[in-house]
Amino acid sequence: MTATAERAARLLLVAFAFSLAFMQPAVQLLGFAVVASDLLFVPLLALLALLVWIGAVPLPRDRVFAYIAAYGLAMVASAVAAGMPAWSAAKLLTQAYLLAIPVVACGLVRDEAMLRAVVRWWLAGTAVVAAVGLASLALFALDRGHALLDFSRFHFGTLPAGDYPRLRLTFLNANLACNYLTVSLMLLFAARQADWVGAPIFHLLLGPLLITAAATISPGLGGVALAIGLWSWLLLRERRSAAARLLLAAGTITALAFVLAMAVTPLLHPTAPFLIQVPLIDSTLAPSGRLMIWIDAARNFAAEPFLGRGIGADSVAVRYLDPSGNLQHLSDAHNVFLSIAVQSGIVGLAALLALIGHVLWRTLPLRLPATPAGLVRLAAGLGLLNGLVYQGLGGSFEDSRHLWFALGLLLASSRIERRATTS
pLDDT score of 423: 65
* Residue 258 domain boundaries: 2-267+327-422
Q: Is the peptide bond before 165 cis (omega within 30 degrees of 0)?
A: no
The predicted pLDDT at position 2 comes to: 84
Positions in the chain whose pLDDT score sits under 50:
none
Residue 277 in domain: no
Residue 372 lies in a domain: yes
Identify whether 307 is part of a domain: no
Residue at 300 is within a domain: no
Tell me the per-residue pLDDT of 119-169, one tens digit each, with 9 for 90 and over. 999 999 999 999 999 999 999 999 999 999 999 999 998 899 899 999 999
Report how many domains make up the chain. Answer: 1
Q: What pLDDT score does 240 carry?
A: 66
Question: Per the domain annotation, does 48 fall within a domain?
Answer: yes
CA distances from 228 to 197, 200, 206, 258, 291 (A): 18, 19, 11, 15, 27
- The CA-based angle 232-238-244, given to 5 degrees, is 35
- Is residue 126 in a domain? yes
Rounded to the nearest 10°, the torsion over CA 199, 121, 4, 99 is: 130
Whole-prediction pTM value? 0.97
196: in domain: yes
Task: With respect to residue 314, please indicate whether it lies within any of the assigned structural domains.
Answer: no
- Per residue in 353-397, pLDDT (tens digit) is 999 999 999 999 999 999 999 999 999 999 999 999 999 999 999
pLDDT at 334: 97
